Structure 1
Amino acid sequence: MTESDHAPDTGLCRISADTDGLPALLRLRTLLRERLGVELIHLGDPALDAAATGKVTQRLCVPVGTARERALLDSEADHRVIQHLILNPDSVDSCTGRRRRIALISNASAVADLGPLPAATVLPALESAAAHLCRATGLDVHPLPVTAHTPQDLAATATALAPGFAAVCLSHTHPAYVGAVRAALEHTGTPLVDTTGHAHAVAVVAATLNALHHKAVPTRTAHVILAGADRGGHLFDLLLAIGVGSLTLHETGTPPEHPAGPADLLVDLTGVPAPEDGTPVLRACPQELPPLQETARRPHPFHTLAALLATAAHSRRLTRHHLLTAARALADLAGPGQLLPSIDQPGLAQALAAAMARDPAHSTDA
């Protein structure tokens, strides 16, 4: 696919070409330079150009045009607010911007299947996620790569940051680190949203509901195999909670088949081969997410992450009942024959958040 246009001021032609990989891109670059000459062309990568913008930025929310307006940002004004907060500690959200601020944290311990990486390398992925979430919710999402070599280090950092944010979101982070952060934040009043264990798991549950529905299999009688439960966060518990009648965990190294014959569905989080007995497969590996244009067929955290963050920031908690409500609502929003709605479906985040707000949450935290 190519696009071209002409710059009106210079008359130069700009051409955008998508290749199917780096080898093809390198061959194209060599061909252009051989045919046109190095001095006639300038080559760039649009992905690098987009990343160089930073993707998200802060905005100034208060006027500062006059001396009086700037005085409201003075230390004396700050002191007045601080005194008010000392006397009214529950008014932090109404007197500051914390209620709309999200900390998007990662220590790069689970970036695709690349393994642990230096923290800074995950920043482009965090900035992309922040751009999607800001667009969907209007919240201020701050990408924060953190160097943390142990779960305790990341938990300590998240706890230190918690007072300034309405919610903490973990992304590209190994489950061992997620568990430590969850335990550390439990008594801080700042909810934790895990991109894989919460958002992706909810999308997988919704896709499972529709996959069974399309086969006319009642959930209560369904036989489902789950491959890679250790990668799924709350997925195992959520599948049981929606009423899956029989749930078999697949262990690596054994055939992913149901002992009583073909199962109704294999939910695959690891990339196992399709069973030879004909069991249909729902591919949902959290480390190999589908392209955004294919999200009507495969689960993606962006199906639910924006709504979960908005709910967590508003209610200052995220419960298992929130997750179940979001899963059922997401399944209902899919079009005919689809497993899921596209993540670009207008109003998706707002519809899911509204469903969670209408359905009172239980007291059990997720």
Structure 2
Amino acid sequence: MTETHHEPGLGLYCISADTDSPVTLLRLRTLLRERLGAELVHLGDPVLDAAATGKITQRLCVPAITVRERALLDTEADNRVINHLILNPGSVDSSTGRRRRIALISNASAVADLGPLPAAVVLPALESAAAHLRRATGLDVYPLPVAADTPQDLAATAVALAPGFATLCLSHTHPAYSGAVRTALEHTGTPLVDTTAHAHAVAVTAATLNALRHKAVPVGSARVVLTGAHRGGDLSGLLLAAGVRSLTLHEAGAPAVDPCGPADLLIDLVGIPAPQDGTPVLRACPQDLPPLHMTTRRAHPLHALPALLTLAARTRRLTPHSLVAAARALAELAGPGQLLPAVDEPGLAQALTTALARDSAHPTPKPEH
């Protein structure tokens, strides 16, 4: 598939070509240079071109042209605000931009299945996530790779960052580090939203509810098997809270065959082969996320992350009840025959945020479905 754009008056053509593999791309580059000459051809990768922009940027929220306008940004003005905050410590969110500021942090300890990596390597992934989240929420999301070799180091950094942000969001971070950060932040008043343990787990729970509904199996009587629970964060607890009463945790490497016969659903977080007994499989490995255009059948953190961050920033908390409510609301937003709505479906984040706000204002027991 190619696109061609001609620059009038310059005699230049911009051609975009999609190839099926790096090998094909290399052959195409070689062919172009041989046929047209290296001096006439400028070759670039649009992925690298997009990454080089940083994908997001800051904007000035106040005018700073006149002397009077600049005076509002001067030391004397800052001191007035600081004195106000000293006398009114509860007004930080209303007197600063903290209420709309999100720290998106990672120490690159869980980037796909590549193992621990240098912190800077995760920056492109954080920038992409920040762009998606900014577009969906309007919040100011700051991608912050952190060089932290131990859970305690990352936890200390998170605590140091907490005063400047409405909430912290962890991404591409190993569960051992995530647990330390969560514990350290408990007494700071700054909530933590974990991309895998919270957002991905909510999406998988919603997909599970709909997979069982499509099979006409009541959630309360369904037999569900979960493989790789160590990768799922809060997923086990979410499934139980959503009404699943029979949940079997399966170890990767062991035969995925239930002696009681086929289960109603197997949720796979590690990529095991399909069971031989015919149990249907919901693939949901958090280290192997689906492309954004294929998210009506597979869970992606972006299904729930924008709404969870919005809720956490507004209320300065994220409760287990909120996660269950998000999973149920997300399941209800899926179209006919879908396990989940597409992550880029217009209005998805707003609809889920509204449902969460309504649920938090009037929490009531939800029936099983």
Q: TM-score, normalised by structure 2?
A: 0.97
- 2:63 aligns with 63
Range with greater deviation from structure 2 (192-201 or 255-264)? 255-264
- 1:298 aligns with 298
- 2:22 aligns with 22
Instruction: Give deviations 1:240-275, integer Å, cap 9, x for gaps.
Output: 111112111111221112220000111000000000
Where 2:266 maps in the other structure, the secondary structure is strand
- 1:99 aligns with 99
Note if 1:86 corresponds to 2:104. no
- 2:159 aligns with 159
Distance 2:160 2:33 in 1: 52
Whether contact under 8 Å (1:321, 1:361) holds in the other structure is no
Distance 2:221 2:284 in 1: 22
Distance 1:200 1:54 in 2: 25
The Cα shift of 1:35 comes to 1.6
Whether contact under 8 Å (1:92, 1:98) holds in the other structure is yes
Where 1:29 maps in the other structure, the secondary structure is helix
1:234-313 matches, within 5 Å, as 234-313=234-313
Instruction: Give deviations 1:210-240, integer Å, cap 9, x for gaps.
Output: 1001111100010111000000000000001
Label 1:9 to 1:326 Cα distance change in 2 as closer, same or farther (>3 A). Answer: farther
- 2:366 aligns with none
Distance 2:117 2:186 in 1: 27
Counting aligned pairs with the same residue, the percent is: 77
1:82-161 matches, within 5 Å, as 82-161=82-161
Amino acid in the other structure paired with 2:168: V
Amino acid in the other structure paired with 1:33: R
1:321-360 matches, within 5 Å, as 321-360=321-360
Distance 1:360 1:140 in 2: 24
- 2:224 aligns with 224
Distance 1:24 1:283 in 2: 29
Amino acid in the other structure paired with 1:295: T
Label 1:184 to 1:9 Cα distance change in 2 as closer, same or farther (>3 A). Answer: farther
- 2:172 aligns with 172
Instruction: Give deviations 1:25-66, integer Å, cap 9, x for gaps.
Output: 111111111122112211000000000001000000011110
Distance 1:303 1:40 in 2: 44
Gaps of 5+ in 2: 364-369
Amino acid in the other structure paired with 1:247: L
1:185-196 matches, within 5 Å, as 185-196=185-196
Distance 1:9 1:222 in 2: 67
Moved over 6 A (4+): none
Where 1:4 maps in the other structure, the secondary structure is strand
Where 2:224 maps in the other structure, the secondary structure is strand
Distance 1:361 1:204 in 2: 25
Distance 1:304 1:19 in 2: 32
Range with greater deviation from structure 2 (32-41 or 184-193)? 32-41
Whether contact under 8 Å (1:319, 1:361) holds in the other structure is no
Q: TM-score, normalised by structure 1?
A: 0.98
The Cα shift of 1:362 comes to 10
Label 1:301 to 1:91 Cα distance change in 2 as closer, same or farther (>3 A). Answer: same
Distance 2:97 2:267 in 1: 41
Where 1:282 maps in the other structure, the secondary structure is strand
Where 2:360 maps in the other structure, the secondary structure is coil
Label 1:361 to 1:107 Cα distance change in 2 as closer, same or farther (>3 A). Answer: farther
Distance 1:294 1:169 in 2: 24
Distance 2:299 2:202 in 1: 9
Distance 1:362 1:111 in 2: 38
Distance 1:309 1:86 in 2: 28
Amino acid in the other structure paired with 2:191: P
Distance 1:160 1:124 in 2: 24
Whether contact under 8 Å (1:228, 1:250) holds in the other structure is yes
Distance 1:107 1:362 in 2: 38
